[in-house]
Amino acid sequence: MTRRLALLALFVAIGCRTGRPSGAPIAPLTAPTSEAAMQELTARRAAFRGMKSLMRVRATQNGQTQSFRAQLAVHDARRMELVAYTPVGTIALKMQANGNKVTTEPQVPPGSFDFLRSSDLTPAEIAMLLLGLPPRDDLQMEVVPAGLVSAASGGITVTFDPPSFPAKHVVVTRGNDRIEIEHLEVVTP
């Protein structure tokens, strides 16, 4: 009986575990100067074929904070997907964006993802930025040899601590709302 309970617990733990994204690791920047880093980021954007990230998220909106794990998949500057997980690893939310059209399952209030509805960037472009890759050249950006320090567009500010590509720890602010993201694993598909 003890063996059956242990086996059942193992299957439940495996079934509820958050899956890791599959793919190849992304090489960090190797630029000697900030200008060279921006050139390398621009070249990587031109060759962009998608990125995935397993991340830990802490979102504070209207004074309420939620923490969860999520997977982000950015296919290109128009298409992205986000899957948020419950504490036991089951799917709590699936979000897809194509251009400025965002759909969620289950449906959530429109204000829940306001930071993705920047008037200047598509949700997928914002997702690229969260990974440390500037989606366009017209953003306000600060760059060091290791990667982005900060970027701003459409009322959102994104800071990277430490500056790096791919990003490791990201903070997004829009007004009083704040989202902290820790990338646990970032890969190319």
Determine the straight-line distance between the first and last CA of the chain, rounded to whole angstroms. 43
- For position 110, what pLDDT does the model report? 64
Task: Report the C-alpha gap between 152 and 138 in whole angstroms.
Answer: 10
Residue 93 counted as domain residue? yes
Check residue 116 and report its DSSP letter: G
Tell me if 68 is assigned to some domain.
yes
Residue 157 lies in domain: 26-188
Identify any residues that bridge with 187 across adjacent strands, giving them in sequence order.
Answer: 25, 52
Is residue 3 included in any domain, yes or no?
no
- Give residue 149's region: left, alpha or beta (phi > 0; psi -120 to 50): alpha
Please report which confidence band the pLDDT of residue 120 belongs to, taking 50, 70 and 90 as the band edges.
confident
Find the range with the poorest average confidence among 118-122, 168-172, 179-183: 118-122
Burial class of 179 by CB neighbour count within 10 A (0 to 12, 13 to 18, 19+):
buried
180 in a domain, yes or no? yes
Q: What is the pLDDT of residue 155?
A: 87
Q: For residue 26, is pLDDT > 90?
A: yes
Q: How confident is the model at residue 62 (pLDDT cuts 50, 70, 90)?
A: confident
Mean pLDDT value across residues 122-138: 95
- Residue 169 zone, left/alpha/beta (φ > 0; ψ -120 to 50; rest): beta
Residue 116 lies in a domain: yes
Q: Is 19 inside a domain boundary?
A: no
Residue 10 maps to a domain: no
d(CA 24, CA 189): 7
**pLDDT for 8 beyond 60:** no
Q: Sorting pLDDT into bands at 50, 70 and 90, what band is 182?
A: very high
Collapse the DSSP code of 184 into the 3-class scheme (helix H, G, I; strand E, B; otherwise coil) and give the result: strand
**Beta carbons of 116 and 101 less than 8 angstroms apart:** no
- Would you say residue 126 lies in a domain? yes
As a whole number, the mean pLDDT across the chain is: 87
- Here the CATH number for the domain that contains residue 65 is 2.50.20.10
- Count of structural domains within the chain: 1
- Residue 130's CB: how many other CB atoms inside 10 A? 25
Question: Residue 12: which pLDDT band, with cuts at 50, 70 and 90?
Answer: very low
